[in-house]
């Protein structure tokens, strides 16, 4: 019997992709290595900057590249596809229409998880592109979960942190935790780590939702 095969469009960025694969591994309990989920990873860091396109700083759409990666995985026989990049979900509908295999939606899965955890309001940490696209907002609206955003100053700090991680720069230890504490002092309770780069450096905490962990659990629930 053919095992399920998870396809992953990675490289957006590379550290987030590596962390996602590691999380897939650590969440599984097997007797022998052959029992682990089969995964086909297409890491494509050359995909144009999603935020730059969404915010009008670039005219080069990532959609063509995303469709190419998805069709490559589809032709290889994957059962479904995961996108460990929140901002790329701006193109989710068009990408889903381009292939005949299901694509896990990290935004929908996160909103569903937050609702199950009893959250009624969250503060969203994400890229400028994700915030402008408001796809996370739409997902949370379905579950009547209010979404607040960090101040412009904090958002600027988050974007600097995100792009430092993307280019492999050294990030000051505790930088994200300091931002989280300051936002919580201002009244925020649950923080959605809505950019997968932030998920890479975040400490485990009941006050935060790591969307890469949510995506990994969703993939395993679907295919195992």
CATH architecture observed for domain 5-105+214-223: 3-Layer(aba) Sandwich (3.40)
Query: In this predicted model, what pLDDT tens digit does every residue of 2-27 receive, in sequence order?
Result: 899 999 999 999 999 999 999 999 99
Query: Nearest 5 degrees, angle CA 190-CA 119-CA 213?
Result: 65
Nearest-angstrom CA–CA distance, 102 and 92: 11
Pairing of strands 190-193, 80-82: unpaired
Query: In this predicted model, what pLDDT tens digit does every residue of 96-155 receive, in sequence order?
Result: 999 999 999 999 999 999 999 999 999 999 999 999 999 999 999 999 999 999 999 999
Query: In this predicted model, what pLDDT tens digit does every residue of 174-222 receive, in sequence order?
Result: 999 999 999 999 888 899 999 999 999 999 999 999 999 999 999 999 9
In angstroms, what CA-CA distances link 71 with 64, 76, 101?
A: 11, 8, 9
| In the chain, domain spans | 5-105+214-223, 107-210
Does domain 107-210 correspond to CATH entry 3.40.50.1860?
yes
């Amino acid at each position: 019997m053919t095992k399920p095969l998870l396809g992953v469009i990675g490289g957006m960025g590379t550290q987030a992709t590596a962390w996602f694969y590691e999380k897939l591994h650590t969440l599984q309990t097997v007797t022998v290595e052959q029992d682990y989920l089969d995964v086909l990873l297409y890491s494509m860091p050359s995909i144009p900057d999603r935020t730059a396109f969404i915010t009008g700083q670039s005219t080069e759409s990532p959609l063509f590249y995303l469709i190419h990666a998805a069709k490559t995985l589809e032709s290889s026989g994957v059962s479904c596809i995961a996108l460990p990049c929140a901002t790329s979900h701006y193109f989710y509908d068009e990408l889903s229409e381009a292939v005949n295999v299901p694509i896990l939606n990290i935004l929908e899965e996160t909103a569903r998880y937050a609702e199950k955890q009893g959250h009624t309001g969250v503060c969203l940490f994400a890229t400028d592109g994700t915030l402008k696209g408001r796809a996370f907002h739409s997902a949370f609206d379905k579950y009547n979960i209010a979404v607040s955003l960090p101040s412009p100053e904090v958002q600027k700090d988050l974007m600097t942190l995100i792009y430092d991680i993307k280019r492999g720069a050294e990030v000051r230890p505790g930088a994200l935790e300091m931002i989280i504490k300051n936002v919580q002092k201002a009244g925020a309770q649950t923080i959605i780590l809505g950019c997968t780069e932030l998920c890479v450096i975040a400490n485990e905490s009941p006050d935060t939702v790591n969307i890469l962990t949510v995506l990994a659990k969703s993939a395993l629930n679907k295919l195992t």
